[in-house]
């Protein structure tokens, strides 16, 4: 029987007799292979979820490849504004101050119809970064059999065509953003889609940026989910913003006769996108009239002076006619699956919106919004044709891409003047 030292001696002798050249041929390639594999695995994990658009993907499996920097100061963010500029002298400056300037690396994308209010978009000359501006002549969107089956004209002022026009505005965001990304060879960390007619009472907080989930406002769900704002990473936003393209997927899933909000919920559900509902500090400024007090399925109109986050509820500058106990009575009578919005803590105030805006609403707005935003409102009211043209030309020089009528045409339509 061999003793332990003899065993070790024989092992060393056999080891020394091996062909070292053969070992090198085996070990070196294997080491190189494992090194490459580790690199490729990291690359795939960080890139594939952002570059693919696989309808079968579950959003809960999608993780952001970039760290969540404190406060979002280093995030690359695309902010897309859609809709008409009817009251943009009230809403535009708040968007610049509370959203665009809050995030230093936020690029602005603008997708708006050409109309008599488009000249007010010149307020965006103060936006820190301009990516793409598209102001276009709206044309009818061809209606398909799938769209007619899936969508309903009920409660839409312009019927199904109104929904299609809105969907087209929203989907234009992802089209512009993807074109910009491709041209400059990068991918945005986040995409924020909001409305031109949204007034922001406080800054957009970084807590609303959640990887793998789409953030929407709470309340005002109208049988689905609130579609007046959306925040998500690239993949979830691509799905959420493809409002026209994904109607066939909703149709295949068997959904029928949906309004905008319920179609949006069906879209996210059909594509396995999870979402969260947060209270967000903005409201949609409206000129429409509504019954007061609102019935069970009525629409409450909040006073812009309300201290709570309004989450996209309809609002106007007014002297509140309903506070405290009155608000509790009104809001508790509303259907929480329809127009209801959060009214806790007694900070919501309501307007009587049965008629037009009250006399002196300008002073009410200036008091609520503050001196800086009040000055911007006054500046638009006194805007001269030459100033308007100069502002748009300045924006044109700064934008990476400009698709809009001539500045003279935009300003002339709204200010009643033509180029001399």
| pLDDT tens per residue, range 390-401 | 999 999 999 999
HSE-CB at 414 with a 13 A cutoff on CA atoms is: 29
The whole-number average pLDDT for the span 342-370 is 94
pLDDT for position 71 = 64
How far apart are alpha carbons 82 and 385 in whole angstroms? 24
The whole-number average pLDDT for the span 337-342 is 90
CB neighbourhood size of 400 (10 A): 15
**Token pair for 378:** 């006054």
pLDDT for position 346 = 79
Give the Å distances, CA to CA, from 396 to 131, 181, 195, 401. Answer: 10, 19, 21, 8
Quick one: which of 314, 288, 284, 286 has its CA closest to 300? 314
Does 190 have pLDDT greater than 60?
Answer: yes
Higher pLDDT, 72 or 140: 140
Q: Show Cβ contacts of residue 176 under 8 Å, excluding neighbours closer than 6 positions.
A: 80, 109, 111, 131, 132, 134, 401
Q: Dmax over Cα atoms in the chain, in whole Å?
A: 113
| pLDDT tens per residue, range 56-69 | 344 444 444 343 44
Q: Show Cβ contacts of residue 223 under 8 Å, excluding neighbours closer than 6 positions.
A: 259, 261, 262, 337, 338
pLDDT for position 46 = 30
Does 31 have pLDDT greater than 70?
Answer: no
| pLDDT tens per residue, range 91-148 | 999 999 999 999 999 999 999 999 999 999 999 999 999 999 999 999 999 999 999 9
How many residues belong to the chain? 420
CATH 3.90.550.10 applies to domain 77-282: yes
Name the average pLDDT for the chain.
86
Any idea where the domains of the chain sit in the sequence? Answer: 77-282, 286-369
| pLDDT tens per residue, range 141-182 | 999 999 999 999 887 778 899 999 999 999 999 999 999 999
**Token pair for 20:** 């070292």
The two beta strands, 130-136 and 106-113, are parallel
Percent of the chain predicted with pLDDT > 90: 77
Higher pLDDT, 268 or 70: 268
Higher pLDDT, 48 or 111: 111
């Amino acid at each position: 029987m061999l003793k332990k030292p003899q065993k070790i001696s024989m092992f060393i002798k056999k080891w020394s007799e091996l062909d070292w050249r053969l070992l090198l041929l085996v070990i070196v390639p294997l080491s190189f292979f494992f090194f490459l594999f580790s690199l490729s695995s990291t690359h795939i994990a960080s890139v594939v979820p952002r570059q693919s658009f696989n309808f079968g993907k579950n959003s809960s499996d999608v993780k952001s490849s970039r760290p969540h920097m404190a406060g979002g100061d280093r995030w690359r963010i695309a902010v897309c504004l859609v809709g008409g500029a009817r009251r943009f002298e009230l809403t535009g400056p708040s968007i610049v101050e509370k959203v665009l300037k809050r995030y230093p690396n936020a690029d602005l994308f603008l997708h708006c119809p050409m109309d008599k209010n488009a000249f007010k978009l010149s307020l965006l000359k103060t936006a820190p970064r301009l990516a793409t501006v598209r102001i276009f002549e709206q044309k009818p969107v061809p209606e398909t059999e799938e769209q007619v089956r899936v969508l309903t004209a009920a409660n839409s002022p312009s019927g199904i065509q109104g929904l299609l026009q809105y969907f087209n505005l929203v989907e234009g965001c992802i089209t512009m953003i993807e074109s910009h990304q491709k041209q400059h060879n990068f991918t945005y960390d986040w995409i924020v889609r909001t409305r031109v007619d949204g007034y922001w009472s406080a800054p957009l907080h970084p807590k609303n940026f959640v990887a793998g989930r789409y953030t929407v406002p709470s309340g005002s769900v109208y049988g689905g989910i609130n579609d007046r704002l959306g925040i998500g990473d690239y993949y979830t936003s691509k799905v959420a913003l493809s409002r026209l393209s994904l109607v066939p997927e909703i149709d295949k899933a068997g959904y029928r006769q949906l309004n905008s909000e319920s179609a949006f919920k069906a879209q996210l559900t059909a594509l396995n996108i999870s979402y969260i509902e947060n209270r967000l500090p903005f409201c949609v400024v409206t000129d429409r009239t509504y019954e007061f007090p609102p019935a069970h399925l009525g629409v409450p109109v909040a006073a812009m002076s309300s201290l709570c986050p309004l989450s996209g509820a309809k609002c106007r500058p007014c002297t509140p006619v309903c506070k405290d106990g009155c608000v509790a009575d009104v809001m508790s009578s509303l259907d929480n699956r329809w127009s209801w919005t959060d009214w806790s803590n007694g900070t919501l105030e309501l307007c009587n919106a049965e008629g037009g805006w009250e006399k002196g609403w300008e002073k009410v707005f200036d008091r609520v919004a503050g001196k800086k935003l009040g000055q911007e409102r006054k500046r638009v009211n006194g805007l001269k044709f030459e100033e308007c043209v100069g502002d748009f030309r300045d924006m044109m020089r700064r934008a990476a891409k400009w698709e809009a009528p001539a500045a003279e045409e935009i300003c002339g339509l709204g200010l009643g003047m033509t180029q001399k």
